[in-house]
Structure 1
Amino acid sequence: MRALWIWGQLTTQGRELRVYAERAITVAGEIRTRIGSGDALWSRVRFGVLDRVAVLWLPLSMALIDPTRA
């Protein structure tokens, strides 16, 4: 597995992955708008990430997905 983050900058693969993550967040918002409240769609999601990614990115990512649960 290649590194997606090197010394404060995203690698090419990291930038590409970021585009997909932003799309996923947009689609999640559209689903909430069209289908209804998040409570109807709530379930547990597990991410497999390296420790460093979890410490650095996960809190921000979760706050972006659902600011009320941050």
Structure 2
Amino acid sequence: MKITVNGDEITQAEATTVLRLLEKLALNAPGTALALNASILPRTQWEHHALRDGDELVIFQAIAGG
């Protein structure tokens, strides 16, 4: 299965969830948010949402400032 993460194509041999992929890529830091196929996916759904071939993830870090 092929998944695009921040514009880079990743080949995943087996089915996985959003959370497992983020942990594998070391991208599950506090303040992380993501869009799946151009829609925000709440963190509460990451553990259970199965990725599909062709999915596109955009991962970003929330930044506070003033």
TM-score by length of 2: 0.23
TM-score by length of 1: 0.22
Q: Computing the radius of gyration over CA atoms, which structure comes out larger, 1 or 2?
A: 1
Query: When you count strand as a share of all residues, which structure comes out higher?
Result: 2
